[in-house]
Amino acid sequence: MASFVLVVHGGAGALNRQTITAKLNCQYMAKLKQSLETGSSILTDGGSSLDAVEQAIKVFEDSHLFNAGKGAVLNKEGRAELDASIMDGRTHQAGAVASVTTIRNPISAARLVMNKTPHVMLVADGAEEIAREAGLEIVGLSYFQTEKHWLHLEKAGTVGAVALDRYGDLAAGTSTGGIQGKLKGRVGDSPIIGAGTYADNETCAVSATGQGEYFIRQVVAYDIVARMRYGGCALKEAAWEAIHGTLTKSGGKGGVIAVDKDGNVAMPFNSLGMFRGYVKNDQQPYTYIFEE
């Protein structure tokens, strides 16, 4: 069978080597590896890139360490409002949810929107209603109000995954709690197809993290695809220019993970750090936080 690739990220932001203690470093690395192992086990068994992306992201959503799901930051009213999206590179079908407050795993709700409705995005009560009807796990508001031991890290990131499966199909997904202290109803780039997430079998799959308003304005995820599709750029060149060129010039901070149709990987960022990692076939997973 053909080869596969899985790339994940746990957010980009104002991280530094002084605030990431040895204990925290071990915790983050372990969770990155768990996400990679969860997704790669699906791909090893011949599963789809969509399944791998969803399950890899759920590992992050179920952890208090990352700004998604259980560990999501809170808005000005002290509530978590969660966003997520997922996209199929073969069909260009996509699903997203925004401003949900009771869904344990927003990435699964996003896939539900893609698979079970004629829409791309549902928000707030509408998204929660179909999630409840479909049997997704619903939790109380207190589930997200965990001890935020990482607030001093100025966490502004997101989580995401991109994958190429053995059948040549690409997929991308992204999930987030947004920005600490955001206004009620604020939606960033994560659930917006083309800004925070995009997948196209002819080029690449992308998941973004960082200051969402800038990623929306610059349509960063699709910008990378367009550079490859219309400009003939290789993946690393396209991703580097989108982050270190367009995003940086606009004043935005963040990064992306991406994998192309040939299995090449790019993980550029212009922030101080980005939790990230990848695995190819049955090789050992690689994980990073800072520039290597």
Report the alpha-carbon angle 112-45-279, nearest 5: 85
What integer pLDDT is reported at residue 148 of this predicted model? 53
Domain carrying residue 145: 5-288
Tens-place pLDDT, residues 15-39 = 878 778 899 899 999 999 999 999 9
- Considering the candidates 102, 158, 197, 287, report the single residue annotated as catalytic: 158
What integer pLDDT is reported at residue 10 of this predicted model? 96
Number of domains, the chain: 1
Q: Where are the beta strands (DSSP E) in the chain?
A: 5-13, 82-88, 94-100, 121-123, 159-164, 170-176, 197-199, 204-210, 254-260, 265-266, 273-280, 286-288
Q: Which of 243, 241, 259, 263 is nearest to 251 (CA)?
A: 243
Residue 287 known to be catalytic? no
CB neighbour class for 237 (10 Å; exposed up to 12, middle 13-18, buried from 19): middle
Answer yes or no: is pLDDT of 180 > 70.
Answer: yes
Alpha carbons 113 and 119: distance in angstroms, whole number = 7
Amino acid at 150: W
- Sorted by sequence, the CB contacts under 8 Å of residue 41 that are 6+ apart come out as none
What is the CATH number for 251?
Answer: 3.60.20.30
Report the alpha-carbon angle 145-80-36, nearest 5: 85
